[in-house]
Structure 1
Amino acid sequence: MNIFIVGPMGSGKTTVGKIVADELFLEFHDTDAKIEESTGVTIDWIFDIEGESGFRKRETSILKEVVALNSIVLATGGGIIIAEENRELLASRGTVFYLHTPLNTQIERTAKDKDRPLLKDKDPEKVLSNLQKTRQAMYEEVADHIIDTENKSGSAVANEIVKLVKNYG
């Protein structure tokens, strides 16, 4: 059983993923953390040196490795769904949960975070709004389940996922 969590930045993918993994006794992975481990540098640095396209290549490479594992929970980067190949990998290797998160919540949650290369030196509201417009359909396309995160804690969202997995697992 593989559980993949997708959604925009600030949706709580990592937080929720760790809780779900603990609850279901599965191994937790995070694509961004794996990229940083394998390169020895931050995502921010990769964006600065290789640009977004260089980062996306690394992301697909890591995704291929991780989806080959079994009994895992995977928190993905917000843009992983951009590449059709990635959406196919996710859809074919596990159950995909999309954490649907309102724009105002994303803005609030990412406000103090300095490790968001797509938001660096830009108007976060504008960037997040544009990302939502361009990515929402892709999140929905790949999702087996859409979880609304509005006004919910990470553990409430995780409990919803655990319940779905136990009922349909």
Structure 2
Amino acid sequence: MTTRGVEWLSAAADDPADCRATWADDPRAPYALAAGRFFDVVTVEQRVGMETFDQLLHRGLPFGPVVLDHKARRVGFLLGSRSQETFLHYLAQEDGTPPTYRYLGHGSVVVVPGPMPMSGDRYQWLRAPARRPIANPLRPVALATMLVASTELLIRVDRYGERYPSEAALALPTFEGTATDAG
């Protein structure tokens, strides 16, 4: 994360100077920030979140910083503050099953990784803020669209796997009738 990214993110803290001091002492330290000031956050379960992240990235769609919480197994997508109405509108426009999600806006708190988390840390940046994100009204649209598309894709993948198990799964030995009589 760049210095400008740290400045923008820490400005969302109740005490920005304390946040910057914490990160200066330990750049791995997670920090609780208020949502709704500079950003809102949409969180989803990790599997849907990772697929959505990959789809947004590979398709070149607009999206901002993204955080992963390994322990909670959730991915959080940062949107511009006050994006909820647009996000919900476009989520409802999609054909398909929207994922279960949490929308964190004004009055919510989100824990973010420090500027330099290590690979074993609970909180990781999938995409760290490099600076204050440029306002883009298409971010909530792209996120809503890809969340539904990713959910539908994963539903199909799971259904396919149940219907057509892999040869390796079919070749697993069964243990029926292999017990020996120890008496």
Query: TM-score with structure 2 length normalisation?
Result: 0.25
Higher strand share: 2
Greater relative contact order (CA < 8 Å, ≥ 6 in sequence): 1
Q: Which has the higher helix share?
A: 1
